[in-house]
Amino acid sequence: MSVLTVRLAGPLQSWGVGSRHTIRTTLPYPSKSGIVGLLAAACGIPRDGGPSETTDVTLAELVGLRLAVRADQPGDLLVDYHTVSGASHAPTDPAQQRLPTADDGRLQAKDSTKITRRHYLSDAAFTAYLEGDADLLTQVVHAVRRPRFPLFLGRRSCPPSKPLFMGIEHQTGLDHALRTTAWQAAAHEVARHRRLGQSSVRLDTVIEDPDGTDVLPDQPLASAPPFRHRYTERPIRHGHITLPLSPHDAVHDPFELLG
């Protein structure tokens, strides 16, 4: 097996699982559905799951990859307050200033302003590891380097701050890759650990494992009808690893390109 490593870092990320309606939460780490969607966008796979015009990679092949995630910098939870109103879609037509309902009707005007709260991870950095066939991952590498569609960290408002591709290793596994990838943290986070006199850092991990003791409902069903995405559970195990601090740490800074 081979392992592809990608960096998921940016000012904001949001990885919702079953997140709908007025409160849209995020997991504290990237979801498989979100990462598969990101890779599908890079490969040029349309939202209906049809064939790509740029690669031979299929959605089913991406879903079949085994995933591990490492929380290099967990970030902070940010809750964004929104109001949603039909008036924003038809400012000059009062008849259309009412939000639609599921049965193709419309709400009364007094009910057509809704409050929503959307959760994000602020200034977080993760590394994700995808294990699978070497030829498939080689195609994914080319796509990630030259993506067909824009890439986002869970939502359209969350672009990555740096290139995703970090490396690909052959004849290896997820556990080895998790332990040998350099710590992807911001300079201020590394400095904080050093001020505390720490010579190592402990990072949380989430690994897809058939013998895992927990499950997540974020496994996409590639056979779902177009535009009707469905998900099932996948087994995972939570853990942690300890990495030594080195002079080469501190590679993640989402704002350094603005300087």
pLDDT 10s digits, 6-57: 999 999 999 988 766 778 889 999 999 999 999 999 999 998 888 888 899 9
Task: Encode burial over 52-85: b for 16+ CB neighbours within 10 A, e otherwise.
Answer: beebebbbebbbebbbbbbbbbbbeeeeeeeeee
Q: What percent of the chain has pLDDT over 70?
A: 83
Task: Encode burial over 246-259: b for 16+ CB neighbours within 10 A, e otherwise.
Answer: eeebbbbbbeeeee
Q: What percent of the chain has pLDDT over 90?
A: 60
* Amino acid at position 250, single letter: A
The β-bridge relationship of strands 66-73 and 200-208 is antiparallel
Ranges of each domain in the chain:
2-83+117-184+203-239
Residue 248 has pLDDT above 70, yes or no: no
| Distance of alpha carbon 120 from alpha carbon 23, whole angstroms | 12
- DSSP lists the bridge partners of residue 231 as 220
pLDDT at 190 (0 to 100): 87
- DSSP lists the bridge partners of residue 234 as 216
pLDDT at 129 (0 to 100): 98
Residue 161 has pLDDT above 80, yes or no: yes
User: What is the third-level CATH fold of 2-83+117-184+203-239?
Assistant: Alpha-Beta Plaits (3.30.70)
pLDDT at 105 (0 to 100): 77
pLDDT 10s digits, 91-122: 677 666 677 777 777 776 666 667 788 999 99
Distance of CA 51 to the CA centre of its chain: 22
* Residue 198 Ramachandran class (φ > 0 left, ψ -120 to 50 alpha, else beta): beta
Contact status, residue 238 vs residue 255, Cβ threshold 8 Å: no
Pair of tokens at residue 162: 């740096």
